[in-house]
Amino acid sequence: MAEETITSTGIASHGASRLPSVEVDSFNIELKDEDGFVGDRARKAAFRDILERWRKPLRRAGEDPFGKERSEDIGKKVLDSILVGDDTEASAVVHSAIEEFAQELAYVTRRLLKSKAWEKTERIVVGGGFRHSRLGELAIARTGIILKADDFNVEMLPIRHHPDDAGLIGALHLAPSWIFEGHDTILAVDIGGTNVRCGVVETGRKKSPDLSKACVWKSELWRHADDEPSREQTVKRLVKLLKDLIAKADKEGFKLAPFVGIACPGVVESDGSIGRGAQNLPGNWESSKFNLPASVVEAIPQIGDHDTAIVMHNDAVVQGLSEVPFMQDVKHWGVLTIGTGLGNARFTNRSSKGDR
């Protein structure tokens, strides 16, 4: 019966458009203009480029408040402290960069909102590492104001959870509800161009059946960009992280579901292969001979007494799914993730208070 449920609803297909709570209207849209990919204008590196441009005239005059430190090396915490610090010139530089970046983010968002896949979008949440800073929150808020001034009736909000947690918590919404019967946790994986993060996610279903109380119990991070591993070494390390977490969850007494939700960059095909967009991952992940879900199942065929089930989807989709419980007052909503690239996904709730 379980197998029949999976097939009839399509919720167990990798990269599925139909999930338990939402329809995924689009993800990983790659819009272009005369300068190339539109999303590149609002990724994390773009903010650093903008900051550098605002510093140049001051540097030429010998008055750069940041000294000789490279813009890409100035941490978000440092920039956040400068925003409220006593150095008004340094603060003005950061505010200027925020304003210009917000204009770029608004440009990208307008392009998305004008596409057929994003029409009637009522709310957009913004995640990714850039969001986890005061400067990121200001840029998001300023973008929302710019869009409203341009008569776009859309709400722009920072993603609710810490972006690192959101990329894991969202995996809960890849799973059919029957997976949770008799279980209180799942395994989740978030693969990025710099890091691999694996975690044990508590469902919190006893407190809140809609999964709004879900949280990450424990997570492990591996910064693969520092090690420059091969694809096979990456998979091997990922499997080790999962096995370690399985052992820790078992020792703690959690009832771990036989399910792994995986978030991965790129266009995820229904068979678990990656069509395109995985160029920042170590090795060739777009090869027809490589299938990450199959590799993980081969290494971890069972969790507890049950066969392992795996669903993989685009990383922006999964991060956005962490917002499902809090989006029930609207029908159409989307997510943007500002990181190595600018990820995007658009959703329609399958049932909601905002359903019309």
> What's the confidence (pLDDT) of residue 230?
93
> What's the confidence (pLDDT) of residue 220?
96
* Mean pLDDT in residue range 118-129: 96
Q: Which long-range contacts (CB under 8 A, 24 or more apart) does 277-282 make?
A: 277/28, 280/192, 280/193, 280/340, 280/341, 281/191, 281/193, 281/231, 281/234, 282/224, 282/228, 282/229, 282/230, 282/231, 282/233, 282/234
Residue 81: is its pLDDT beyond 60? yes
pLDDT, tens digit, 9 for 90 and up, residues 61-79: 888 999 999 999 999 999 9
Residue 26: is its pLDDT beyond 70? yes
Residue 9: is its pLDDT beyond 70? no
> What's the confidence (pLDDT) of residue 4?
33
Q: For residues 24 and 227, which has the higher predicted lDDT (pLDDT)?
A: 24
> What's the confidence (pLDDT) of residue 244?
97
CA distance 282 to 264: 12
Residues 6 or more apart whose CB falls under 8 angstroms from that of 257 comprise 175, 179, 180, 183, 185, 186, 303
pLDDT, tens digit, 9 for 90 and up, residues 39-50: 899 999 999 999
In degrees and rounded to multiples of 5, residue 311 shows phi and psi of: -130, 130
Give pTM, 2 decimals: 0.91
Q: Which two tokens stand for residue 325?
A: 């419980």
> What's the confidence (pLDDT) of residue 199?
98
CA distance 102 to 207: 38
Confidence grade of residue 153 (pLDDT, cut at 50, 70, 90): very high
> What's the confidence (pLDDT) of residue 106?
97
Q: Which two tokens stand for residue 129?
A: 């590492």
pLDDT, tens digit, 9 for 90 and up, residues 303-351: 999 999 999 999 999 999 999 999 999 999 999 999 888 999 999 999 7
Q: For residues 322 and 5, which has the higher predicted lDDT (pLDDT)?
A: 322
Which residues of 203-325 form beta strands (DSSP E)? 215-222, 256-264, 302-303, 306-307, 309-314
Confidence grade of residue 33 (pLDDT, cut at 50, 70, 90): confident
> What's the confidence (pLDDT) of residue 36?
78
- State the chain's mean pLDDT as an integer: 91
> What's the confidence (pLDDT) of residue 356?
33
CA distance 245 to 222: 13
Structural domains in the chain, CATH included, are 32-158 (no CATH), 163-322 (3.30.420.40)
pLDDT, tens digit, 9 for 90 and up, residues 141-152: 999 999 999 999
> What's the confidence (pLDDT) of residue 13?
87
> What's the confidence (pLDDT) of residue 352?
52
* Cβ atoms of 273 and 262 closer than 8 Å: no
pLDDT, tens digit, 9 for 90 and up, residues 183-200: 999 999 999 888 899 999
> What's the confidence (pLDDT) of residue 2?
36
* Cβ atoms of 63 and 87 closer than 8 Å: no
